[in-house]
Amino acid sequence: MVLDKKDTRNIWEKIGDYFSANSIWMKWYCTGCGAIEMPPTMTSRFDMERLGMGPMATPRQADVLLITGYLSTKTLRRVIYSYEQMNSPRYIVGFGSCTINGGIYYDSYATINQLDKYLPVDLYIAGCMPRPEAIMNGFAALIEMIKKGEANGWRHYQENYEWYKKNQLESLGEVIINDEFHE
Amino acid sequence: MNAMNFIYAFLMLVFVFIFQTSLTGFNRKVTARLQKRYGARWYQQFLDIFKAMRKDSTTHGWVFDFGVIMALGGIMATVIFIPVAGFRAFPGTDNVFVISYLLAVGMLGMAMSAAGSGNPWASIGVGRALTNMLAYDIPLMIVIFTMIFAFDSASVGELAKMQQGMGILGWNAFRMPLGGIVAVIALMGMLGKKPFDSFIAPAEIASGPMVEYGGKHLGFMFILHEFMTFIEVSLIINLFFGGGATIWEYMLKYAVLYTFTNIVSGVMPRFKIDQAVKYFYRVPLAMAIIQGIVVIFTGLGVTIWF
């Protein structure tokens, strides 16, 4: 573990990070209301393809898992499955205030409040909802972070897997499954 | 055949990769402009490929891994046999049948690998891709067999050379107008451009055969796709648009035809797979058969313009 801020990447990792920063493929996990802000970001007004970003069809192909809004404990399980299907280096962007502190669902019995406890979030985009300007701004920041090698959430997840796993299990609770595979 | 042939073949692969990837990047910009967007950088496709090659990757068993390598190997071997502006890495081997059989190695490798991932979307995508292939191949093959019969040669390079020196009217697309139209429509089907892209439909079957690919596997698939595009467009250019006397002429024709298919694709909706098959078996097949009858029984098209 390196404690100072010195750049410890070798030349190949720096080149790799340059490619990663300039070609961001996203899997949109659109459960919340934030999904409606993505079409204007993608189409002719804001045009995120200028920065090399684009939507992909499956988590396997994607680099960024974009979580747009609140997560119920039921969808959290699917988000974790999706995240664990992705290939590293992989990044998570939390989108809107619901992923930061629960937003307007802060006292709901069915939603999680803080996404950071369950998955390693690299960047939050605050707002309810963030406008496309804020999204573009946020992704410009993510690109800078990847270029400098600061977006290390996926490494953090590997190193602190027990802590994340414990939080995940606490939140998901006991699940009783009744189907032909489990009886 | 000596060592120089193999060096030429290697250089050709490098040239094809750089040329076709740049052109894909350019065409992403063309598509963006059609949609009133600014679009990606022209070298974005290179960044995407190298990024994918840099990532970790998940395997789904040795069939999945081996299929990718087999497909890439088969497609790269096919590229070597394509004549470019009269240049052939291995002279005398550019037969239509050699190319179509070698191409099948790549296609089957892809199908095997995708099916080996075990994902049902991949199987649906492969099924659709092979159905689509059956649909466009029959009209196109009728036209190509007609051409082989009429000109008495199955060498792609020879067929291209026969069309040169007579200006634009010497091209087979103008000698056999119906055949030319069939070829361009079949090219849309081969490249998987809209309206014939139901096998990679991202929103319906999660990008079909590509669904389980990520990281290095996906990078290989992207490279493979660039090579495959080159083979398909090159076949049509050589057989129907006169090849090219110089490499610049060839590249210009190639860029125009490829950009044309992209522009058409940009304004089209998507056929369902059964609609695509019905369409190919109704319009292009009828046109191909009429063209074949005209050429074989009247000799029109072989001799009409000169």
pLDDT tens, position by position, A67-97? 988 888 888 888 888 898 899 889 999 888 8
Task: Chunk chain B into consecutive blocks of 10 residues (it has 306) and report each block's average pLDDT, rounded to whole numbers.
Answer: 81 91 93 90 91 89 90 90 81 82 86 87 89 90 88 84 78 84 91 87 82 89 92 90 85 92 91 91 92 82 60
If one counts the domains in chain A, the total is 1
> Measured between CB atoms, does A43 come within 8 Å of chain B?
yes
Structural contact between residues B25 and B47, judged by C-beta atoms closer than 8 angstroms: no
Domain range for A112 is: 24-171
A7 in any annotated domain: no
Q: At what angle do helices B3-34 and B44-54 cross, to 10 degrees?
A: 110
Token pair, residue B157, equals 């390079």
The predicted structure's pLDDT at residue A6: 67
Question: Residue A74 has what pLDDT?
Answer: 83
Tell whether A78 is covered by a domain: yes
For residue B148, give both structure tokens: 């082989």
pLDDT at residue number B52? 92
pLDDT digits (tens, 9 = 90+) for B199-220: 888 778 888 888 888 889 999 9
User: Which residues of B are less than 8 Å from A86 in CB distance?
Assistant: 214
Does residue A42 form part of some domain? yes
From the list B35, B54, B214, the residue facing A61 with the nearest CB is B214
Whether A5 is covered by a domain: the verdict is: no
What is the domain-level CATH number for residue A131?
A: 3.40.50.12280
> How many pairs of residues across A and B have Cβ atoms under 8 Å apart?
82
A23 and B55: CB-CB below 8 Å?
no
Q: Does B38 touch chain A (CB under 8 A)?
A: yes
Chain B: give the shortest CA distance to residue A109, in Å.
33
Choose among A22, A85, A86: nearest Cβ to B47.
A22
Half-sphere CA count of B100, side-chain side, radius 13 A: 15
Token pair, residue B51, equals: 């990024």
Q: Which of B40, B47, B213 sits opposite A50 (nearest CB)?
A: B40
Contacts of B189 (CB under 8 A, 6+ apart): B132, B135, B136, B196, B276, B280
The residues, ordered by sequence, that sit 6+ positions from A5 with a Cβ below 8 Å of its Cβ are none
Has residue A94 been placed in a domain? yes
Residues of chain A with pLDDT under 50: none
Please report, for residues B61, B254, B269, the alpha-carbon distance to residue B127 in angstroms, rounded to integers and kept in the order given: 21, 30, 21
Q: What is the pLDDT of residue B139?
A: 92
Q: Within a domain: residue A159?
A: yes
Residue A177 lies in a domain: no
- For chain A, the first-to-last Cα distance in angstroms comes to 46
